[in-house]
Amino acid sequence: MSGFEKHMADVLRSHEVAPPAGLDAQVFAALDGAGASAGRSLVGRRLGGAGLGALLLVSFGWYFGTMPAEAPVVPAVAESAVSAVSEEVLATPESAAEAVVLDRMNSAAPAEAQAENAAPEPAVALAAKPTGVRRTEPSTSSAAQPVAVAPLEQRSVAGIEDGKANGSDKMLMETPEEPEGVWRMKARVNVKED
């Protein structure tokens, strides 16, 4: 360091400049503000934590409190029939899937003719697709009562391609025999009348 640099350092180190007016007020206001905000943040953290916990408790309480005592009854019409067909189809190699369906359709053809003569075609409950996966309130009318559905063999099954029962058409159904809150995924099979 040269002599000039030392001189410069001495001069500047001891140099003083008058601060702008009002800086003291700003400093002490900031000091008070910093203390207050620190206190606020501490209290806020504590209250916030407690509040969040309380909110979670209330939410869970409300959720479980409003749940129906029994699991909602979803019409399980033709469920076993659908399962039987879909499982069989799914278990069959892709190329043979259509053959399986056609075979079952052909073998049931005489029975279908008899059924047509005997009684009018009942409503097909499978057409009623649940909206989303939301819970449904137990219904006292149609849901509680079993709906008669013609045997699946009497119908032609459409929408089964490539050995899969319309993979995109899967839907979630909650069934009465399952424990509460357990959802089973089932394949939906479109049933088309001839």
Partner 1 sequence: MEAELLELIRICKTGNRRGQTRLYERFTPMLYAVALRYTNTQVDATDVLQEAWVKIFRHLDSFTEHNSFEGWMRRIVINTAITHYRRNLKHVHHADIDEVHATPADFAAFKESDFTAEELMQAIAELPKGYGMVFQMYIIEGYKHKEIAEMLGIDLNTSKSQLSRARRYLQEVLERMSRRAQPLPMAAEETKKKTIQ
Residues that bind partner 1 (CB under 8 A): 1-5, 7-9, 11-20, 23-24, 26-28, 30-31, 34-35
* Identity of the residue, 18 or 69, whose beta carbon is nearer to partner 1 in the bound complex: 18
Residue nearer to partner 1 on the CB measure, 14 or 66: 14
Q: What whole-number distance in Å separates Cα of residue 1 and Cα of residue 176?
A: 90
9 versus 67: smaller Cβ distance to partner 1: 9
Please list the residues that pair with 186 across neighbouring strands.
171
In this complex, which beta carbon is closest to partner 1, that of residue 24 or of residue 180? 24
> What CA–CA distance (Å, rounded) separates 142 from 89?
30
Q: How far is the CB of 186 from partner 1 (least distance, A)?
A: 58
Q: How far apart are CA 175 and CA 182, in angstroms?
A: 8
Residue 22 beta carbon to partner 1: minimum distance, rounded to whole angstroms: 9
Residue 189: count other Cβ atoms within 10 Å of its Cβ.
24
| CB burial readout 18-57, b (16+ within 10 A) else e | eeeeeeeeeeeeeeeeeeeeeeeeeeeeeeeeeeeeeeee
> Minimum Å distance from CB 41 to partner 1?
14
CB of 184 to partner 1, least distance (A): 57
